[in-house]
Chains A and B, each alone.
Chain A
């Protein structure tokens, strides 16, 4: 039985559209861009990143020297171009907030990359080898999971001083556990899928199987989790800085600024409010983007 060629053009175009429309990434992109919260978050985040990069060119004030001609601390003053006011050492808060953004975002991205590197390697190894090795490796993750890791990071900071690279590594080392679990689960489930077996059976090379089939399938959840890890890391860094264990003067991060602001909130509330707003908005944006990505990539809803 064959299709009689009465109206083949229209039908073919329909079926082609239908097939294209179901491709995972195409669909995901469309869904993501339909999600207003995610799109707005991406725009805002983009603006913050650009501001952070351009910080030295946006204001006449340096981040580390006081303005001797103004109050210590001084409220926001547009005439003097102290848009966010000055801190207790007379330094411009606008510039300091943007320099804080540099550190916070950098810590977020670098520490997340560290966690990605460890997590993907560990998880993929466990998932690929499987069997007893997998069992032991995941048991180790379970044990590490049950530890109060935050305290270890604090210990590390206390014992070895506040080194910014130590912060990256410590935070990355804390966050890789979940990543390892996700990657391992995905690798296992992909490994079992029929289409991988089919590829094997038809003689597709292992490298091609990994690049064409496994990586794209593992990528989705990893990207989602990465987007959600970045705010967690930023938060943790701020937490450490707040306790006085983060980056050191004259460098700053949002956590440091908030910590200083909290001490003087009764007399100079702007010191708390501006960095807190930046931090909260950034965390909001990452969370919204992460949620949007998850909804967009979730095959359950398709």
Chain B
């Protein structure tokens, strides 16, 4: 097990009181696998991984245990984390427009990682950076190396972000909605690139997204989050074939399908994502769930094992 997360809880102290963004979640990532994490905005998917990276906003705090390669990393000091971040695991973000420093040349933003972590000379750092820019498919990398981020297109910037994250050959790459801000045509290229790099470099990847379609072809396992909790965990094929949680089912049904012969209108899950400050006493999904019954009202369903590699958090025995 490369990454093992136990009882992770993330809270934010806001003007209006404490908000629990991630509520006691457990999951793991195996070396080399690709884990998909799906959920709406506010489901806690991003905050969970920012907690692991030690990148929470100042008013946030995380509890629990996170083992990376067997070593507990949650709560490490900034200095200790800096020996791991960008080296053992890296993260790329949703918006490549704002995630690169607009005031620095790409060259400097890349080489500084190598000189900081590996003490490479300027010349070696430049060479390694150019290799990676080639690897992520930036044409004429040498010519563009000394440009500023605003001189790149959105897709190219995300490629630069990926190259930058991979400079030190991390064992784990966390990609937080890497394609949401990009053109549809570019989205597929970036996803394909992440998948290819994952297998080429034998690197585990976590793909965080609100779009199940993104995960379908790329990840091995899927974890569905709702209201700060994991509601279902399953191998990707099983989830698509037979979702076990009403929310997963709703997500699947709201996906457009090419092979849909009868022209029925696209389904949407009714209602709003939950307000984290006013979560229902029981299951967070209850206001939007057509199957809700008495126990859902008072008791949060546990995430229980239903077969060797499937878990769900729902009071229903089986989804009709």
Q: Which of A's residues lie within 8 Å of B, judged by CB?
A: 1-4, 6-7, 11, 14-15, 17-18, 31, 34
Instruction: For A34, give the chain B residue with the smallest CB separation.
Output: B15
**Cα–Cα distance between A11 and B296 once the two chains are bound (Å):** 14
Contacts of A11 in B (CB 8 A): 280, 287
**Cα–Cα distance between A15 and B280 once the two chains are bound (Å):** 11
B292 at the interface (CB under 8 A from A): yes
7 tightest A-B contacts by CB? A1-B290, A14-B278, A4-B292, A18-B275, A11-B287, A1-B270, A3-B287
Q: Pick the contact of B275 from A3, A14, A34 — CB < 8 Å?
A: A14
B302 at the interface (CB under 8 A from A): no
B288 at the interface (CB under 8 A from A): yes
Q: Is the CB of A1 within 8 A of B294?
A: no
**Cα–Cα distance between A49 and B280 once the two chains are bound (Å):** 49
Contacts of A2 in B (CB 8 A): 270, 290
Contacts of A17 in B (CB 8 A): 278
Q: Which of B's residues lie within 8 Å of A, judged by CB?
A: 15, 250, 269-272, 275, 278, 280, 286-290, 292-294, 297
Contacts of B286 in A (CB 8 A): 6
Instruction: For A17, give the chain B residue with the smallest CB separation.
Output: B278
**Cα–Cα distance between A17 and B280 once the two chains are bound (Å):** 14
Q: Is the CB of A7 within 8 A of B297?
A: yes
Q: Pick the contact of A6 from B269, B272, B288, B294 — CB < 8 Å?
A: B294
**Cα–Cα distance between A18 and B277 once the two chains are bound (Å):** 10
Q: Is the CB of A1 within 8 A of B280?
A: no
19 contacts between A and B (CB under 8 A): A1-B250, A1-B269, A1-B289, A1-B290, A2-B270, A3-B270, A3-B287, A3-B288, A4-B293, A6-B292, A6-B293, A6-B294, A7-B297, A11-B280, A11-B287, A15-B272, A17-B278, A18-B275, A18-B278
**Cα–Cα distance between A18 and B16 once the two chains are bound (Å):** 12
Q: Is the CB of A6 within 8 A of B290?
A: no
**Cα–Cα distance between A14 and B276 once the two chains are bound (Å):** 12
**Cα–Cα distance between A31 and B16 once the two chains are bound (Å):** 10
Name the distance in Å between A279's Cβ and chain B's nearest Cβ.
Answer: 33
Contacts of A1 in B (CB 8 A): 250, 269-270, 288-290
Instruction: For B270, give the chain A residue with the smallest CB separation.
Output: A1
Instruction: For B269, give the chain A residue with the smallest CB separation.
Output: A1
Q: Pick the contact of A3 from B271, B278, B293 — CB < 8 Å?
A: B271
Contacts of B294 in A (CB 8 A): 6
Contacts of B290 in A (CB 8 A): 1-2, 4
Name the distance in Å between A173's Cβ and chain B's nearest Cβ.
Answer: 38
Having A1-B288, A2-B290, A17-B278, one finds 6 other A-B pairs with CB under 8 Å, namely A1-B250, A2-B270, A4-B289, A11-B280, A14-B278, A34-B15
Instruction: For B250, give the chain A residue with the smallest CB separation.
Output: A1
Name the distance in Å between B144's Cβ and chain A's nearest Cβ.
Answer: 33
Name the distance in Å between B254's Cβ and chain A's nearest Cβ.
Answer: 11
Contacts of B288 in A (CB 8 A): 1, 3
Contacts of B275 in A (CB 8 A): 14-15, 18
Name the distance in Å between B298's Cβ and chain A's nearest Cβ.
Answer: 10
Name the distance in Å between B37's Cβ and chain A's nearest Cβ.
Answer: 24
Instruction: For A10, give the chain B residue with the smallest CB separation.
Output: B280
**Cα–Cα distance between A255 and B272 once the two chains are bound (Å):** 58
**Cα–Cα distance between A281 and B119 once the two chains are bound (Å):** 56
**Cα–Cα distance between A2 and B280 once the two chains are bound (Å):** 17
Contacts of A14 in B (CB 8 A): 275, 278
Instruction: For B294, give the chain A residue with the smallest CB separation.
Output: A6
Q: Pick the contact of B297 from A6, A15, A31, A34 — CB < 8 Å?
A: A6
Instruction: For B272, give the chain A residue with the smallest CB separation.
Output: A15
